[in-house]
């Protein structure tokens, strides 16, 4: 990477140092933070705020590089070996120290010890790792997972295990899309739970893991999910708020239904047949909720937050992205699972796909709905995804579309109506016919809807009274106008 590309400001992966300080601790915190994160580069010879190139002394540049290499390898544990290069701009030399993401986490400054010497990178700053982040780094370095840790002070009976197995199978059958798929659902057994890591066998004794507690709502697990609806696109005024508890599988369904109950519902007509259509793709909503539960950090004491604004649905889950995971990779279908036992159980219950196809599929669904791509954000140790709404003007009945600007989904030419809550199904059908032909007669509407002529007259009179339609011109040569 050329130097100019590194001079766009300090970030999660870039740090500037004007000079090489005698006290290496001034940059060693950033070194271990990069190793504990996604890696990064420290540029010596660049002014911090202005990004002006100061340069380093060329006469002693190789001695300086050796001193930086020795300081890093001597000061950090486990040992970190930097990649150091020199780049020159305007006859000034800049030392670029590259630190790769480490495998043996946590990395810390030896003289400070693990507790006080482990640092992480947040945005463009370096900070001491909180105790829960330190614990997660330890587990990651040991290739262990929180949901598979045993709970030795908790006893489970055969009947407890049997009830959980049956409940999981019931949910898997309920989420099956066909009789054939339902018939193919396998029975969950004790061995299944052991293979997932929901149970663990130690010294011939059976113990539940944190995954078991999450699936049965025990040991103060799982944390409640915080849901709220806000008046505008900021968090200034609440319209509604709720905390949803229960098992993680119950939380998926409860949060999903909460969101559906708060977003707009329109109707789609194919011919004269009516179908309800939500403004956001329901399958994507459900999978995003399930993903937040599977991928959140349960070591971190925060809550999953679901916030509905007038322009977006926002789902935030605690926990920084795992090593090697980036937003770009996620959009391409890459996935790294933080809680493998939960993921196995959720895949069995058909809440998620295990193999990273969720985000690309959600992006595809949003495009088919005529929505902008979801926004994925990694910030301050949390992960957030936004689904943006196409919000109609609720002061009128609005004729809207999903997929194109011509009243269709994809190319199937199904008309979409975003309607007022006080419009009946019959009124919606009549409105659909009028939209298709503004000069349609009441007799033709009767033929297409199979209602009585008296009903048609009454419905059209009511639509005019509500201000939804109006007549332009006379009865013989005029036309109907649908007000937006």
Question: 3-class DSSP state for residue 480?
Answer: strand
Q: Residue 39 pairs with which residues in a beta bridge?
A: none
**pLDDT (0 to 100) of residue 422:** 60
User: Percentage of residues in the chain with pLDDT exceeding 70?
Assistant: 89
Q: Residue 46 pairs with which residues in a beta bridge?
A: 53
Mean per-residue pLDDT for 110-123? 94
Mean per-residue pLDDT for 128-154? 93
d(CA 407, CA 403): 8
pLDDT reading at 116 higher than 60 = yes
pLDDT reading at 9 higher than 50 = yes
| Ramachandran assignment for 356, one of left (phi > 0), alpha (psi -120 to 50 degrees), beta (any other) | left
**pLDDT (0 to 100) of residue 426:** 78
Q: Between 394 and 84, name the one with better pLDDT.
A: 84
d(CA 9, CA 197): 44
pLDDT reading at 479 higher than 90 = no
Topology of domain 226-388, CATH = Heat Shock Protein 90 (3.30.565)
Mean pLDDT estimate for the chain: 87
Cβ proximity of 296 and 318 under 8 Å: yes
pLDDT reading at 53 higher than 80 = yes
**pLDDT (0 to 100) of residue 438:** 83
Mean per-residue pLDDT for 298-313? 94
Mean per-residue pLDDT for 213-234? 94
pLDDT reading at 413 higher than 70 = no
Cβ proximity of 275 and 264 under 8 Å: no
Return the ∠ at Cα 427 (arms to 258 and 366), rounded to 5°: 40
**pLDDT (0 to 100) of residue 355:** 62
**What is the per-residue pLDDT across 258-274, written as a single tens digit (0 to 9) for each?**
999 999 887 766 666 66
Tell if the pTM clears 0.85, that is, is over it.
no
| Ramachandran assignment for 363, one of left (phi > 0), alpha (psi -120 to 50 degrees), beta (any other) | alpha
Return the ∠ at Cα 351 (arms to 346 and 357), rounded to 5°: 100
Q: What are phi and psi of 449, to 5 degrees?
A: -100, -15
Nearest to 222 by CA among 351, 318, 152, 140: 318
pLDDT reading at 396 higher than 70 = no
Nearest to 78 by CA among 109, 112, 41: 109
User: Is it true that the peptide bond before 106 is cis, omega within 30 degrees of 0?
Assistant: yes
Q: What are phi and psi of 113, to 5 degrees?
A: 85, 165
**pLDDT (0 to 100) of residue 393:** 43
**pLDDT (0 to 100) of residue 412:** 35
pLDDT reading at 130 higher than 80 = yes
Instruction: Name the residue ranges covered by the structural domains of the chain.
Output: 3-144, 147-216, 226-388, 422-482
pLDDT reading at 89 higher than 90 = no
- Both tokens assigned to 53: 């190139």
Cβ proximity of 76 and 32 under 8 Å: yes
CB atoms within 10 A of CB 134: 20
Mean per-residue pLDDT for 334-344? 92
User: Percentage of residues in the chain with pLDDT exceeding 90?
Assistant: 59
Question: 3-class DSSP state for residue 56?
Answer: strand
User: Is it true that the peptide bond before 17 is cis, omega within 30 degrees of 0?
Assistant: no
Q: Residue 121 pairs with which residues in a beta bridge?
A: 126
**What is the per-residue pLDDT across 143-168, written as a single tens digit (0 to 9) for each?**
899 999 999 999 999 999 999 999 99
When pLDDT is cut at 50, 70 and 90, the band that residue 456 belongs to is confident
Q: Between 320 and 224, name the one with better pLDDT.
A: 224
Q: Is 462 exposed, middle or buried (0-12, 13-18, 19+ CB in 10 A)?
A: middle
**pLDDT (0 to 100) of residue 30:** 96
Domain at 3-144, CATH from 3.40.50.720, 3.30.950.30, 3.20.20.70, 3.30.360.10: 3.30.950.30
**pLDDT (0 to 100) of residue 99:** 97
**pLDDT (0 to 100) of residue 273:** 66
Domain at 422-482, CATH from 1.10.10.10, 3.10.20.30, 3.20.20.70, 1.10.3720.10: 1.10.10.10
pLDDT reading at 414 higher than 50 = no
**pLDDT (0 to 100) of residue 192:** 97
**pLDDT (0 to 100) of residue 430:** 85
Q: Is the dihedral of CA 292, 293, 296, 302 positive or negative?
A: positive
Which helix or strand (DSSP H or E) is residue 429 part of? helix 425-436
d(CA 89, CA 69): 23
C-alpha distance from residue 429 to each of 154, 271, 272, 466 (Å): 58, 10, 7, 16
pLDDT reading at 395 higher than 60 = no
- Both tokens assigned to 257: 């239904």
C-alpha distance from residue 444 to each of 273, 397, 434 (Å): 16, 23, 10
Nearest to 18 by CA among 40, 42, 44: 44
**pLDDT (0 to 100) of residue 356:** 60
Return the ∠ at Cα 343 (arms to 280 and 194), rounded to 5°: 155
Question: 3-class DSSP state for residue 23?
Answer: coil
**pLDDT (0 to 100) of residue 410:** 34
**pLDDT (0 to 100) of residue 283:** 93
Q: What are phi and psi of 199, to 5 degrees?
A: -125, 155
**What is the per-residue pLDDT across 172-185, written as a single tens digit (0 to 9) for each?**
999 999 999 999 99
**pLDDT (0 to 100) of residue 391:** 58
| Maximum average pLDDT range among 94-98, 439-443, 458-462, 465-469 | 94-98
């Amino acid at each position: 990477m050329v130097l100019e590309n590194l001079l766009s400001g300090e970030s999660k992966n870039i740090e500037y140092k004007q000079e090489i300080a005698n006290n290496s601790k001034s940059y060693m915190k950033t070194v271990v933070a990069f190793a504990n994160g996604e890696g990064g580069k420290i540029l010596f010879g660049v002014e911090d705020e202005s990004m002006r190139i100061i340069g380093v002394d060329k006469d002693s540049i190789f001695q300086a590089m050796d001193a930086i290499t020795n300081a890093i390898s001597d000061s950090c544990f486990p040992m970190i070996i930097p990649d150091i290069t020199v780049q020159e701009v305007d006859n000034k030399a800049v030392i670029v120290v590259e630190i790769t993401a480490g495998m043996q986490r946590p990395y810390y400054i030896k003289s400070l010890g693990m507790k006080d010497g482990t640092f992480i990178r947040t945005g463009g700053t370096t900070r001491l790792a909180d105790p829960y982040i330190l614990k997660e780094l330890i587990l990651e370095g040991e290739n262990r997972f929180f949901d598979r840790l045993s709970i030795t002070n908790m006893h489970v009976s055969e009947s407890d295990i049997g009830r959980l197995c049956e409940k999981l199978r019931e949910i898997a059958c309920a989420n099956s899309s066909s009789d054939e798929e339902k018939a193919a659902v396998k029975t969950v057994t004790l061995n299944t739970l052991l293979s997932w890591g929901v149970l663990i066998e130690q010294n011939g004794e059976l113990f539940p893991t944190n995954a078991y507690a999450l699936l049965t709502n025990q040991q103060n697990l799982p944390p409640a999910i915080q849901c709220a609806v806000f008046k505008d696109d900021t968090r200034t005024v609440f319209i509604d708020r709720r905390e949803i508890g229960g098992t993680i599988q119950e939380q998926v369904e409860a949060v999903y239904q909460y969101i559906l109950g708060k977003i707009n519902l329109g109707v789609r007509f194919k011919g004269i047949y009516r179908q309800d259509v939500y403004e956001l793709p329901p399958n994507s909503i459900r999978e995003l909720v399930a993903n937040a539960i599977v991928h959140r950090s349960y070591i971190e004491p925060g809550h999953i937050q679901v916030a509905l604004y007038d322009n977006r649905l926002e789902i935030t889950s605690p926990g920084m992205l795992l090593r090697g995971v980036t937003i770009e990779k996620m959009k391409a279908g890459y996935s790294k699972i933080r809680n493998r036992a939960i993921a196995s159980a959720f895949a069995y219950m058909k809440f998620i796909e295990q193999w990273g196809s969720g985000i690309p599929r959600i992006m595809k669904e949003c495009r088919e709905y005529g929505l902008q791509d979801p926004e994925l954000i990694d910030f301050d140790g949390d992960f957030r995804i936004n689904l943006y709404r196409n919000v109609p003007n609720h002061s009128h009945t609005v004729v809207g579309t999903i997929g194109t600007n011509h009243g269709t989904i994809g190319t199937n030419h199904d008309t979409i109506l975003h309607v007022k809550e006080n419009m009946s199904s019959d009124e919606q059908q009549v409105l659909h016919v009028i939209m298709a032909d503004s000069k349609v007669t009441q007799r033709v509407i009767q033929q297409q809807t199979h209602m009585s002529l008296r009903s048609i007259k009454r419905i059209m009179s009511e639509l005019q009274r509500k201000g939804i339609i109006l007549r332009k011109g006379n009865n013989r040569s005029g036309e109907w106008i649908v007000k937006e």
